[in-house]
Chain A
Amino acid sequence: SQQGEEDPQALSIQEGENATMNCSYKTSINNLQWYRQNSGRGLVHLILIRSNEREKHSGRLRVTLDTSKKSSSLLITASRAADTASYFCATDGLHSNYQLIWGAGTKLIIKP
């Protein structure tokens, strides 16, 4: 069952600009993760944020989590052409029977 919903579905920006993607979910969670997928390839884990955390950084990535709004955002600063990919959020719900629930993804295009 779909829980996470990414917004926007697609985003096109110039290289060097910041990219922000949002994820909303429906039920209480243990943690939320962000993954990147290059075209047709396997997903790669970017960052995990736990339900008791509000913000996390990893290199050019910044993730925020607002459990009261059931939403998260992924910010990529100083974007590069290599950041072109689809980005997915996945939630580990409190009552999800150990399943990660995935959104449909945001397709990010970085124009040189």
Chain B
Amino acid sequence: EAQVTQNPRYLITVTGKKLTVTCSQNMNHEYMSWYRQDPGLGLRQIYYSMNVEVTDKGDVPEGYKVSRKEKRNFPLILESPSPNQTSLYFCASSLAPGGGEAFFGQGTRLTVV
């Protein structure tokens, strides 16, 4: 089954404690991206990747890092989380950037206290 898998689904952490949210897709998609979703603000892109070893900043990259060492995986790293990073995070992949259907993971609800 074609899918994007994110882990964990829920995470509560403390300020400053490094964390990684994993994302994996099984569709051989080249394009992957991370979004955060906050009430009233819709989806805002954090980072995206056009292919292995190619990543670029989206609209709200501050406080986040990503890597794309393999085509299927695109982890999101918060080196020093802060309460303003409390949000619902989504990973998405598509065959081509913007040009077709994006497949989304189920989301990771992160709370930073």
Assembly CA distance A96 to B48 (angstroms): 13
> B-facing mask of A68-96, CB < 8 A → 1, else 0?
00000000000000000000101010001
Quick check: which of A12-20, A37-45, A55-63 contacts chain B, the rest being far away? Answer: A37-45
B98 (CB) vs chain A CBs: closest residue: A92
Query: Is A104 in contact with chain B by the CB < 8 A criterion?
Result: yes
Decide if B43 is an interface residue (CB 8 Å cutoff): yes
What is the interface of chain B mostly: helix, strand, loop, or mixed? strand
Q: In the complex, what's the smallest C-beta–C-beta distance from B100 to chain A, in angstroms?
A: 7
Q: B107 to nearest A CB, angstroms?
A: 6
A88 touching B48, Cβ below 8 Å: no
**Option from B33, B59, B90 in Cβ contact (under 8 Å) with A42:** B90
A98: min CB distance to chain B, Å: 3
Say if the beta carbon of A100 comes within 8 Å of chain B: yes
A90 CA to B35 CA, complexed, in Å: 13
A108: min CB distance to chain B, Å = 15
Taking CB atoms, residues of chain B closer than 8 Å to A41 are: 106-107
- Number of contacting residues on B, CB 8 A? 30
| Of listed A92, A97, A100, A104, residue having the most chain B CB within 10 A | A100
Q: Is the CB of B98 within 8 A of A44?
A: no
- For residue A30, CB closer than 8 A to chain B, the reply is yes
Q: Look across to chain B and name the residue whose beta carbon is closest to the beta carbon of A89.
A: B42
Q: Does B79 contact A (CB under 8 A)?
A: no
B109 within 8 A of A: yes
The docked-state distance in angstroms from the alpha carbon of A99 to that of B43 is 12
- Bound together, the chains give a CA A2 to CA B45 distance in angstroms of 10
Cβ of A28: which chain B residues have Cβ within 8 Å of it?
none
A contacts, CB < 8 Å to B:
1-2, 30-31, 33, 35, 40-45, 48, 88, 90, 92, 96-100, 102-105
* 17 pairs from A and B in contact (CB 8 Å cutoff): A30-B99, A31-B98, A31-B99, A40-B88, A42-B90, A42-B106, A42-B107, A48-B101, A88-B42, A90-B43, A98-B98, A99-B45, A99-B58, A102-B35, A102-B43, A103-B42, A105-B42
